[in-house]
Copies of this chain bind each other. A is one copy, B any other.
Amino acid sequence: MTAAAPAIVLVRPQLGENIGKAARAMLNFGLTDLRLVSPRDGWPNPSAGPAASGADLVLERAQVFDTVAEAVHDIPHVYATTVRKRGLVMPVVTPEEAAREIRTWPERSAFLFGAERSGLETDEVAIAGKILTVPINPEFRSLNLAQAVILVAYEWSKHEALMVPTEGDEREPRATQAQLEGLIGQLDGALEAAGYYHPPDRIPATKNTMRTILTKAGWSNREVQALRGMIRALVNPRPR
């Protein structure tokens, strides 16, 4: 059983475009509950759709509220996203820590994001139980709204089983030692025939180097066989 997906609450967002971008960021990582508190230009906003790049269902389901308190009325765990100190004594967590906590709770969570320039007001932050801060370059703090949303959504999605992992990791099993020995023996014989091993006193060290090089590569048997074909070709060129 997985925890319910968190809600994303945009507080007094200014540009419809940014609401659309936030919706797109959300859906990329499986979030669909978007809540808007007093969007400056009303709702719906014609600029949101194009910026959502297909995340229309998030926009269609978006709910609008007058205050932060109303927006999170049904949600017990609320995080206020802010980089600034507020004179509020509250726990501060990273997106990673928040995602880990959320997973342990059966109840829902919400993340508050402030207006594009002004951020959250102190009394809005106070509604939350915790502050969420993205650790960022202290000399260049310039996360925009959709970027902050995507980092939170991304961290949350890591814990979701429904997310398809990396699309088919096709890592092949390593070749067996016997398969690898076949390659080493073949190359050794070919080098021997080509007069590669000299002077005599260096032969053991040179053979060890060759063996180490081929062993450390971690090839699959398919790759070992491809290399054997290449060696065969070099030793017996095809008549042209």
Which residue numbers of A lie inside 8 Å of B, CB to CB?
A: 24-25, 27-30, 53-55, 83-85, 89-94, 96, 131, 133-138, 140-144, 146-147, 150-151, 154, 157-158, 163-172, 187, 190-191, 193-196, 198, 209-210, 212-213, 216-220, 222-223, 226-227, 229-231, 233-240
Contact = CB atoms under 8 A, between A and B. Distances in A.
Contact of A230 (B89, B146, B210, B238): B210
A89 B170 CA distance: 6
A165 B135 contact: yes
Nearest to A237: B194
Contact of A28 (B136, B166, B168, B219): B136
Number of copies: 2
A168 B138 contact: no
A134 B198 CA distance: 50
A28 B216 contact: no
Given A135-B166, A194-B237, A233-B191, A89 B220 contact: yes
Contact of A136 (B29, B231, B233): B29
B210 A226 contact: yes
Given A133-B166, A193-B237, A210-B226, 15 more contacts: A27-B137, A28-B147, A54-B142, A92-B167, A94-B165, A94-B166, A133-B167, A135-B158, A135-B163, A137-B157, A146-B147, A151-B151, A151-B154, A190-B234, A213-B227
Nearest to A94: B166
